[in-house]
Amino acid sequence: MGRRTNVALELLLLVTLVTGIAGFLSGSHGTRWILVVHGTAGLSIVFLAPWKAAIARRGLRRARPDSVLSIVFALLVVITIVAGVVHTTGVWVDRGAWSPMGIHILAALVTIPLFAWHVVHRPQRPRRGDLSRRAVLRAGALGGGALAVRTLTRADHRFTGSFEVGSFRPDEMPVVQWFNDDKPRIRPEDWTLRVDDRVLGFDDIARYEDELVATLDCTGGWYSTQVWQGVWLGRLLGPEPDGRSLVVESATGYVRRFPLGDRDRLLLATHLGSEPLDRRHGSPARLVAPGRRGMWWVKWVTSIHTSDRPWWLQSPIPLS
Ligand code: HEM
Ligand SMILES: Nc1nc2c(c(=O)[nH]1)N[C@H]1C(S)=C(S)[C@@H](COP(=O)(O)O)O[C@H]1N2
Ligand SMILES: [Mo]
């Protein structure tokens, strides 16, 4: 019984980690199911906890020097799950770095090396008999129970798990920087935008009146829908730009690369809710990338250029 519980837990943890990361990176409706699987597998771990506790107690009686790593591993999984549940139930909503979702993701990522160590040093071999009828029925009951609990405890979320904050009220929209990116103060009259080999000024951009209602959904666990005004990138690039991707760069060095085919769906915004963009939200101009997570919405844009590299040849999350 102990071995089977261990195998089941390892599988659940693997599924939870993979779906957590996949759900975090994607921001489109078609991928809703990923986080359903994530939450369900994550909660199933809780259901197996009583069995695991009994196994762990036995294991600790013949403790080895590295048992402390097992304890840290277990603690991190507990912290991850508690933070995940705190986030989805909405009992504590915060959007800083120490939001429940921020803690959830940080604890989960630290778990990964410990999980790898655990798999190597406490190997659990699945056997053919593990997939008995009874085992399948039990797994079904476990998953069903977890899915039911998840459905009942979830507060009102977007499909990504994010909470609504300050929609159509720009003053209440949170401000988020990645890692330690700063908030440069750039006056529109001093600002220039490189578009391939041309250099444009603020007035060249601000004369357009393209408008879009779009939802910024930060992986920190909040989202906000706003009216954005500016210019479609396709208009700045001309009718038939060459290349495969489009590189959008911030004055701070923060860079994201997009498929060139997206150029007519990406807005370079100078205004938010009809007011000039606030410095903290990326003035003089920031990218609006509907359907993509907040980390793609580059602020303080100073350069846009086409490139022959495919868009996916880049770090999955910005590193500067
Ligand atoms: C040790 C690995 C992990 C475990 C055990 C775990 C477990 C959980 C649990 C129990 C929940 C709440 C379930 C619910 O009510 O829906 C949850 C939610 C969530 N987790 Fe994880 N998680 C893990 C790793 C990750 C990672 C690495 C990420 C992202 C990089 C992530 C992103 C999320 C998100 C976005 C939600 C909210 C989902 C929603 O509201 O539908 N998780 N997780
Ligand atoms: N230059 C730059 N742009 C950036 C970031 C950053 O750190 N630097 N953070 C991104 C992230 S993670 C999010 S969620 C949004 C937040 O935009 P806001 O501060 O206008 O709400 O900006 C994105 N654009
Ligand atoms: Mo974000």
For atom 7 of ligand 1, the residue with the nearest CA is: 42
Q: pLDDT at residue 38 above 90?
A: yes
Q: Which atom of ligand 2 is nearest to the CA of 281?
A: 20
Predicted pLDDT at 68: 87
pLDDT in tens, 155-191: 777 888 888 999 999 999 999 887 667 789 999 999 9
Instruction: Considering every ligand atom shown, identify the ligand nearest to the alpha carbon of residue 101 and give its number.
Output: 1
Q: Which residue has the higher pLDDT, 302 or 143?
A: 302
What percent of the chain lies above the pLDDT cut of 90?
A: 55
Residue range 181-209: mean pLDDT, rounded: 93
For atom 26 of ligand 1, the residue with the nearest CA is: 20
Does 102 contact ligand 1 (Cβ within 6 A)?
Answer: no
Q: What is the rounded CA–CA span in Å between residue 108 and residue 16?
A: 10
Does 104 contact ligand 1 (Cβ within 6 A)?
Answer: yes
Does 256 contact ligand 2 (Cβ within 6 A)?
Answer: no
For atom 13 of ligand 2, the residue with the nearest CA is: 294
What percent of the chain lies above the pLDDT cut of 70?
A: 96
pLDDT in tens, 77-99: 999 999 999 888 877 766 665 77
Does 146 contact ligand 1 (Cβ within 6 A)?
Answer: no
Does 34 contact ligand 1 (Cβ within 6 A)?
Answer: no
Q: Which of 1-10, 30-39, 279-288 is the most confident on average?
A: 279-288
pLDDT in tens, 291-309: 998 999 999 999 999 999 9
Q: pLDDT at residue 29 above 70?
A: no
Question: How many angstroms does the Cα of residue 83 sit away from the middle of ligand 2?
Answer: 23
Q: Which atom of ligand 1 is nearest to the CA of 89?
A: 15
Q: How many residues does the chain have?
A: 320
Residue range 136-144: mean pLDDT, rounded: 87
Instruction: Considering every ligand atom shown, identify the ligand nearest to the alpha carbon of residue 160 and give its number.
Output: 1
Q: Which residue has the higher pLDDT, 103 or 260?
A: 260
Q: Which residue has the higher pLDDT, 26 or 169?
A: 169
Residue range 216-243: mean pLDDT, rounded: 92
Pick from 178-192, 213-227, 232-246: least confident? 178-192
For atom 24 of ligand 2, the residue with the nearest CA is: 298
Does 85 contact ligand 1 (Cβ within 6 A)?
Answer: yes
Predicted pLDDT at 50: 86
Pick from 41-55, 120-134, 196-210, 286-300: least confident? 120-134
Does 170 contact ligand 2 (Cβ within 6 A)?
Answer: no
Structure tokens at 26: 């994607």
| Structure confidence at residue 1 as a pLDDT band (50, 70, 90) | low
| Structure confidence at residue 27 as a pLDDT band (50, 70, 90) | low
Cα–Cα distances in angstroms (integers) from residue 211 to residues 52, 111, 241, in the given order: 55, 43, 23
Angle at 163 between CA 182 and CA 79, to 5 degrees: 80
Q: Among residues 212, 233, 229, which one has the least CA distance to residue 284? A: 229
pTM for the structure as a whole: 0.81
Does 51 contact ligand 2 (Cβ within 6 A)?
Answer: no
Pick from 27-31, 47-51, 145-149, 202-206: least confident? 27-31
| DSSP assigned state of 271 | E
DSSP characters over 166-217: STT-GGG-----STT-------GGG-EEEETTEEEEHHHHHT--EEEEEEEE
For atom 39 of ligand 1, the residue with the nearest CA is: 161
Q: Which atom of ligand 1 is nearest to the CA of 161?
A: 40
Residue range 250-277: mean pLDDT, rounded: 96
Pick from 129-138, 193-202, 282-291: least confident? 129-138
Predicted pLDDT at 91: 76
Instruction: Considering every ligand atom shown, identify the ligand nearest to the alpha carbon of residue 44 and give its number.
Output: 1
Q: Name the phi and psi angles at 48, rounded to 5.
A: -85, -5
Cα–Cα distances in angstroms (integers) from residue 53 to residues 79, 169, 316, in the given order: 16, 48, 36
Does 173 contact ligand 2 (Cβ within 6 A)?
Answer: yes
> β-strands 301-307, 192-195: how paired?
parallel
Does 263 contact ligand 2 (Cβ within 6 A)?
Answer: no
